[in-house]
Amino acid sequence: MFDGRFRTEAEQRLRPVGANLRRVGVTADQLTALGVVMAVGAAVAIGNGALRAGLLLLALTALPDVLDGAVAKASGTASPRGAFFDSVSDRATDALLLGGVAWYLSTTQPGRVAVLPLAVLAASMLISYERAKAESLGFDAKGGLMERAERLIALGGALLFDSLMVPILWVMLVLTVVTAGQRFAKVWSQAGPDRPVVARSPHRLRTRALRPTRAKVRRGDRASRTAERRAAWQRRMRERRSR
């Protein structure tokens, strides 16, 4: 929800900041890499139980993620390579942060509670894949109850109120799975029903891609007639030489 409604507006308001950063030599890729470095620090802090430090580093991780797009648009350097780097970095950041939470829970909670953040990570990777695959096919899969911005906010709340960490993770898991279902239904409706193959005869199914076009048939007939005339001319020439 936040990605669709507020991200574009935030990037527009931060465009002057992005222009100033670009003016001093900071690039969008450098900001993206800085966000990954911050995520590594946040994961280490969370895994070691320093939840408040992890919360601070989490906020610092989100800042470059917003500014890199503003810098790219302000400098006119937005490119497919930068978008690919940003997307991969977001997935790596999610894995680092939730991996740090899993490490922390494995040392503080009994049983299999540490698997819970890994389940959230798996569901979040699913909705990211749905969007990427849908866009590669020409569809739109944005939206949902628990996009990346909401997950980061919920994770920040879990770090701030550590006694509620496990319930918050359960809510994140449920809403992330719901988001995956929402995106699947959205793309499914955009794609429309599959077109059945029409049977031309009871023993044979033909598709348009397999049927030769009229132009191909004409070219084939013309080539065969040319080959026949050439063979007849060669026979006549051999007969003359034999006389």
Confirm if 150 and 2 have CB atoms less than 8 A apart: yes
- The residue behind tokens 């977001």 is 90
Cα 25 from chain centre: 29
Burial 149-170 (b: 16+ CB within 10 A, else e): bbbbebbbebbeeeeebeebbe
State phi, psi for 205 to the nearest 5 degrees: -105, 130
Pair of tokens at residue 25 = 């030599």
Among 29, 68, 90, 94, which one carries the catalytic annotation?
Answer: 90
Q: Is 94 a catalytic residue?
A: no
Pair of tokens at residue 111 = 């049983």
Annotated catalytic sites, by residue? Answer: 90
